[in-house]
Amino acid sequence: MNTLLLGAVAYDPKVVTIWDGFRSYFAKHGLDLDYVLFSNYERQVLAHLAGHVHVAWSSPLAWLQVERAAAVRGRTARAIAMRDTDRDLTSVIVAQRSVATLGELKGKRVAVGAADSPQATMIPLEHLAANGLVAGRDFEVVYHDVLVGKHGDHIGGERDAAKALASGAVDAACLLDGNHLAFSRDGTLAAGKTHVVAQTARYDHCNFTVLDDAPPQLVARFESLLSAMRYDDAEVRPLMDLEGLKAWAPGRTSGYATLAASCERFGSLKPLLDQAARELPVRA
């Protein structure tokens, strides 16, 4: 086997530009890499488990999906690399000025992103639940299900949630901290009209995931070339800008604890695990 196959989700047309560029870069450095694009993370996870790709560019939720589904089958998953910008993120719950504290969200309407967005839905709702405010019981959740299956990699659902807050249609909105700042700069959220009433614990975002049957030499070369990329290299800097990083960092999984707690509380992993059981039955 001489080609490393990578799976990625096509959440935006730029994904083709990014991976065509990286593919050329890897080829120049002696690694034959090809990629397969998926319309959603669930299909990518199932393809990865079936052995159709060797490495997957996983969202946080996709990481938990593949890790848990692999464990059921007596297999192991490993996060080998992530962007420097995937580490130590937070989400914020932004409210109208009339809502002074987190507790005052009781009985209110809270906007979130897509139902499968870790940053704009799952982690903030877990934070609220951990603080005694359970979705559907203590407040109404207003979902903005833009491109479900993409796990919030786009910002469409979050922007719609912010617009709902700005219009007064909801009392609060859940946003990635960085997107909250961006929406404040571009005027989506007018200065002085809203404020942050809560901020989640830090968490991590995407990672490159491999399973225990991935070709070790090709994976090792992939890791080596990723770590050797430099932002001041004119060949890869435009691609790194498109992918939103300045350096590749080693993969870690300690930053997924809050999302895992959310999945446990709300049963978010069950649909994928059930689908995997149907399509990829565990062999005796």
Report pLDDT for 34.
98
Report pLDDT for 41.
98
* H or E stretch at 178: helix 177-185
One domain for residues 82 and 121: no
Last residue of a domain, one of 161, 182, 199: 199
One domain for residues 272 and 144: no
φ/ψ of 268, rounded to 5, equals -70, -20
One domain for residues 14 and 74: yes
Report pLDDT for 281.
76
Average pLDDT over residues 103-126: 98
Report pLDDT for 1.
67
Average pLDDT over residues 271-280: 95
Residue 27's pLDDT band (boundaries 50, 70, 90)?
very high
Average pLDDT over residues 22-45: 97
The answer to whether residue 284 sits within a structural domain is no
Last residue of a domain, one of 160, 176, 199: 199
**Is residue 221 a contact partner of residue 232, using CB atoms and an 8 Å limit?**
no
Report pLDDT for 159.
97
φ/ψ of 16, rounded to 5, equals -65, -45
Distance CA 203, CA 90 (A): 6
Average pLDDT over residues 141-161: 95
The answer to whether residue 139 sits within a structural domain is yes
Report pLDDT for 282.
72
Last residue of a domain, one of 163, 179, 199: 199
One domain for residues 121 and 168: yes
pLDDT of residue 284 exceeding 70, the answer is no
How would DSSP label each residue in 133-166? --BTTTBEEE---SSTTSTT-SSHHHHHHHHHHH
Print the domain residue range for 150. Answer: 91-199
One domain for residues 264 and 128: no
Q: What CATH code is carried by the domain that includes residue 29?
A: 3.40.190.10
The pTM assigned to this predicted structure is 0.95
> How much is the CA Rg of the chain, to the nearest whole Å?
20
Q: Mean pLDDT over all residues of the chain? A: 96
Residue 154's pLDDT band (boundaries 50, 70, 90)?
confident
pLDDT of residue 141 exceeding 70, the answer is yes
